[in-house]
A and B are shown apart, each in its own frame.
Chain A
Amino acid sequence: MQISSVAAPLFLAMATGTLWVGGQALVEARDLSATYWLVAGAVSVRASLMFSEKRRS
């Protein structure tokens, strides 16, 4: 099994979790924490897309 076929859904799950935590931090007005988690979420989405691209090629 290729790493990219596992990594894409794994990073998708990671993105979901981090974006959720970031959203909650934004609701609770923890701005620094929210920014941190939202950046982590965006990077995880990017990683998931990159692994998908690799798996496709």
Chain B
Amino acid sequence: MNDTLNREREGVLSWWRAQGATFQAVVPGLYAWGVTVEPVSWSPRSGAAPKLLASAALVALAIGPAFERRAPDQVRLVSGWGFVLSSILVWVVAPEPAFAAFDARRGIAGMLGWALFAFASASPAREARIAATAGPPVRPRALDSRADVSMLFVGLAAAVALQLIGWRVADRDRMLLIRTVGIAGGLGLITAAGAAAIAGKAPADEDRVPRPRRSRLPARVVVVALLACILVGVGTVYELWPLH
């Protein structure tokens, strides 16, 4: 009985994995569309253009799985960007009153939906490839000290904190800008925290993959660090002790 269930489960999973990247992104894409695009475009206050663009987004999402096998790269490009750009355009052309029902809770749910869509599009589940695992096993670079793990969590918490800013801003354009800046800043913080956490944990010599060495200029590091300090210092002085 259990064997039959396991076989069925394995069958469904391998069928799911055999589908392309765009197929796996359909469910999170539909969720993100339903939470953020549909309420704005089908609001009684919005006109024909948002409805047309929202429908175009759905069509772009659907053509991915339908045609991915014929020309994977081109179809992924058209489907992914068509879906995202049409959804953004809905927000750009929809009139201000159409956003009346759009509150912070819906915004956060929508952000999670778009994050899931991005994740499913960028790293779809794949069948394990034998060629990739041949040879000696590769050891992961473990986060072995508590300081490293806490640095990673601090970076994550800071990135999440940036997403809490600006949910009550009335001006739609400004709110879009704040969201874009928040997401870009969050990505930067997570990247920097991850890099700082695994820094110093170079892979063992036998795991090291040869790659072209980039020239590292200590002077460049010092200049950027100095510039950051100067910017923060000048900004702090002017913010705390305004001279006017």
Contact = CB atoms under 8 A, between A and B. Distances in A.
Contact of A53 (B162, B169, B193, B216): B216
A49 B165 contact: no
Interface of B: 151, 154-155, 158, 161-162, 165-166, 169, 171, 174, 177-178, 181-182, 185, 188-189, 191-193, 195-196, 198-202, 216, 218, 220-221, 224-225, 227-228, 231-232, 235, 239
Among A19, A33, A36, which residue has the most Cβ atoms of chain B within 10 A? A19
Interface residues of A, number: 45
B232 A47 contact: no
B165 A20 contact: yes
A55 B177 CA distance: 35
Nearest to B186: A19
B227 A43 contact: yes
A5 B200 contact: yes
A37 B6 CA distance: 55
Nearest to A12: B192
Nearest to B197: A52
B224 A54 contact: no
Contact of B174 (A9, A29, A36): A29
**A-B pairs with lowest CB-CB distance, top 4:** A40-B231, A52-B195, A16-B158, A23-B165
A56 B198 contact: yes
Contacts of A7: 225
Contacts of B224: 43, 46-47, 50
29 contacts: A5-B200, A8-B192, A8-B199, A9-B151, A9-B196, A12-B158, A12-B192, A14-B232, A16-B189, A17-B232, A18-B231, A19-B189, A20-B165, A23-B181, A26-B166, A27-B165, A29-B174, A39-B231, A40-B231, A40-B235, A47-B224, A47-B225, A47-B228, A48-B192, A48-B195, A49-B195, A54-B216, A56-B195, A56-B200
Given A16-B161, A47-B227, 14 more contacts: A5-B200, A15-B192, A22-B185, A27-B174, A43-B227, A47-B221, A47-B228, A48-B196, A49-B191, A49-B195, A51-B196, A52-B192, A53-B216, A56-B200
Given A23-B182, A48-B192, A33 B198 contact: no
Nearest to B200: A55
Nearest to B141: A56
A44 B196 contact: no
B225 A42 contact: no
B196 A12 contact: yes
Given A43-B227, A47-B228, A12 B154 contact: yes
Contact of B225 (A11, A16, A56): A11
Contacts of A54: 216, 218, 221
